[in-house]
A and B are shown apart, each in its own frame.
Chain A
C-alpha cells in the first residue's frame, strides 16, 4: 500500500483504536478518525457506558494529538433496530444473544466501510485483535490475533468479505500488554483506560435490569423444573437465563444446579447437574463463511462463546448452516451465541447456535 493512502480509522475512544490510529499515522497514512454514535446510555452508571460523550472526547483528543481530522457519525437508529431490538427479542425468547457479532456485521464495519469510500479512503482500520491475510485467489483470510487472551476474531466472522478485503487490523500482531506500552510511548491520552468488559449498551452488566426498562414483556413469571418435569420453584422471567448459568437460579440443594435449557413457549427454565449440561453436537444457522462455503465436512475447531477454547469437532455444512459434532462433549452450548469454526488460526465461518 502506498504511503499516503487515506485510511478511515474507527475510533471508540478506547486505547486499542487510538493506538491503531497512531500506528497508521506513523506509517505515513492519511488518517481520518470516525466515531460512531450508537447509543445514549441511560441511568447514572456513567463509567464505561457506551458512546458516552467522554469516549467521543477521548477519540477527539487522540485525533488532535495525532493532528488528524475526527468526525462523529450518528448511527443510533441502525444500532437500535439491528442490534438492540433483536437482542431484546432474543432474550425474551430465552436465548443468549451475542449482539457484538450483529453490530460488526450489520452496523459498525459495513457502515464504516461505506463512509470510508465516501471520504475517499482506500482502507478501513479498527483496533481489533485479529489478523487479515491475503490468499492466493485474491480474497482474504481472517486469522486469530496473536494474543490468545485478547483474540477478537470470534466477533468478526460475520463481516462480509468485501469489507474484510479493505480492513486493516494493526493490533493483530500485538499482545495487549505491549499495545498499552506502545500507546504510552505514543503519549496517547487514554493509554491506561480500562478495557470495556460488558456489552457496550449495558455497561453495568445488568441485562435483566436493562430488559425490564426496555421490554414491557419482560418479567413474566414461570416454573423452574428439573429434567423429569418436577417443579422446583418460580422465576421472574426467562430473559437473562443462560444455558450453563449456575448463579441466580435461587433453588438451594445439595449439588450445584445449572440452567440446561429454556423452553420459550411454556416459559419453563430446566435445571440439572453439570453432567447434564454436556452436548455432543450443535446446529448453527444464519451462517457466514469467510471466503467460500466448504463443499464437504471437515475437521475444525469450534468456539461456542467468546472466552471458550475452541473445541475439536467434525463440521458439516448443511442447508441451514452447519452442524458440529464435538470430539469431547462441550458444556453450556447456549442458543443465540455464535459458533465460530476455525482451522488452526484461520476463521472458516460462523453462525448462531440453534
Chain B
C-alpha cells in the first residue's frame, strides 16, 4: 500500500491492525520504549481514547529487549505488538524476526517499523514474519512524501483514509505518482547502499575513536547497530548549543527531538535508554552519514569539533 511517507505508514500499521480486530476487554498493546513518535503517538492516542493498555519494553543502556521479555509482556488481552527494526537516533538493531515469531506463536498481530532499515539492511518482508511493515522513501535517498506499508496477504486492516477505491479501498486518495516512482528507483539502488555499510561502519568506528579521545561518551554503541549513525554525549555541553556551534562551522547535525512547541527537547530515546543519566540526553550529539560520506568529511567534522570544544562549553 502506497502512503504519503513513513509517518502515515506507521500510523496506518498501528491503528489499522488494532481497528480490524474485535476489541477485547482490557485490550493491550506492546511496543519498545524507544519507538519513533509515528508509532508511539498513535499508541498513546489509543490509550487515551480507547483505554488500550500499553506495555513499553525497556531498552536499558541501549540493550534491546530479548524475545523472552516480549513473550512475558504478552497477555491474553494483547492485540498488537509494534516494534521498530532500527532505532532512529542510535541505529540500534532490534531482533524483530524473533519478535514476530513470538507474536505469531501468541497469535498477536505484529507491526514492524522498518523505515530506518531499508537501504541499510537486506529486507525481505515475507521472511520477517510480521503482519505489517512500514517504509519511507527518503530514508534511502528517495523523495520525501512517499512511503509504503506492506501487509501480509489475508491480514485485516482498518482504513484511516476513506473515500476512494485506491489500495483496494484500504487507503483512499490518489498517490503522488512522481514521488512513488522516485521511491521505486531508490529501491532499485538499495542493494548498493547496503553494500556500502561495511565501509561506513569502519569510517564510523574510526570517527568514534577520535570522538572518545575528544571527551565523548558513546551512546548505545555496545550492541549491534547500523553503520550510518553515531550518537554521543558531551558532559558540560547542552546538545542544542553544541549543534548550533557546529552549524556555524558548517556541520549539520542534531541532538534531541523536535518538540511540538517548535524548539528541540532532549532525546526521548536516550532518556529511555539511560534513565539514571539524564545528562546523556541533554548533551547528545547525533552524527548521521550516508553512502556519499567520505573520510575527508569526517576530518572536516573533527576539525570543526576541535575548534568548538576549545571554547567554553555552552
Contact = CB atoms under 8 A, between A and B. Distances in A.
Contacts of A118: 237, 241-242, 245, 308, 311-314
Nearest to A40: B261
A119 B263 contact: no
B262 A119 contact: no
Contacts of B264: 72, 74
A40 B263 CA distance: 11
B241 A117 contact: no
Nearest to A114: B314
A282 B240 CA distance: 44
Q: Provide the main secondary structure of the chain A interface.
A: mixed
Contacts of A119: 241, 244-245, 248, 311, 314
Given A71-B244, A73-B241, A120 B262 contact: no
Query: Which of A32, A34, A115 is most buried by chain B, counting CB atoms within 10 A of its CB?
Result: A115
Contacts of A72: 262-264
Size bracket, chain A contacts: 10 to 19
B263 A120 contact: no
A120 B314 contact: no
B265 interface: yes
Contacts of A53: 261-262
B245 to A, nearest CB: 5
A69 interface: yes
A56 interface: yes
B176 interface: no
A37 interface: yes
B314 to A, nearest CB: 3
A114 B240 contact: no
Contacts of B244: 34, 69, 71, 73, 115, 119
Given A53-B262, A56-B262, A73-B240, A117 B312 contact: yes
B261 A37 contact: yes
B247 interface: yes
Contacts of A37: 261-263
Interface string A117-142: 11110000000000000000000000
Interface in A49-79: 53, 56, 69, 71-74
Nearest to A73: B240
Contacts of B238: 73
A72 B263 CA distance: 6
A146 to B, nearest CB: 33
A118 B308 CA distance: 7
A74 B261 CA distance: 10
Interface string B210-249: 0000000000000000000000000001101110110110
B241 A115 contact: yes
Contacts of A56: 262-263
Interface string A88-119: 00000000000000000000000000110111
Nearest to B313: A118
A112 B263 CA distance: 17
B240 A120 contact: no
B311 A117 contact: yes
Contacts of A69: 244, 247-248
Query: Which of B240, B241, B245, B263 is most buried by chain A, counting CB atoms within 10 A of its CB?
Result: B263
Interface in B264-314: 264-265, 307-308, 311-314
A98 B45 CA distance: 41
Contact of A74 (B247, B263, B314): B263
A114 B240 CA distance: 13
Contacts of B312: 114, 117-118
A268 B262 CA distance: 44
B265 A74 contact: yes
B164 to A, nearest CB: 34
Contacts of B245: 118-120
A119 B307 CA distance: 10
A72 B243 CA distance: 11
A212 B208 CA distance: 51
B190 to A, nearest CB: 35
Contacts of A117: 311-312, 314
A188 to B, nearest CB: 21
Interface of A: 32, 34, 37, 40, 53, 56, 69, 71-74, 114-115, 117-120
18 contacts: A32-B248, A40-B261, A53-B262, A69-B244, A69-B247, A71-B240, A72-B264, A73-B238, A74-B264, A114-B312, A115-B244, A117-B314, A118-B237, A118-B245, A118-B312, A119-B244, A119-B248, A120-B308
Given A37-B263, A56-B262, A119-B311, 15 more contacts: A34-B244, A37-B261, A53-B262, A72-B263, A73-B263, A74-B265, A114-B314, A115-B241, A117-B311, A118-B241, A118-B312, A118-B313, A119-B241, A119-B248, A120-B307
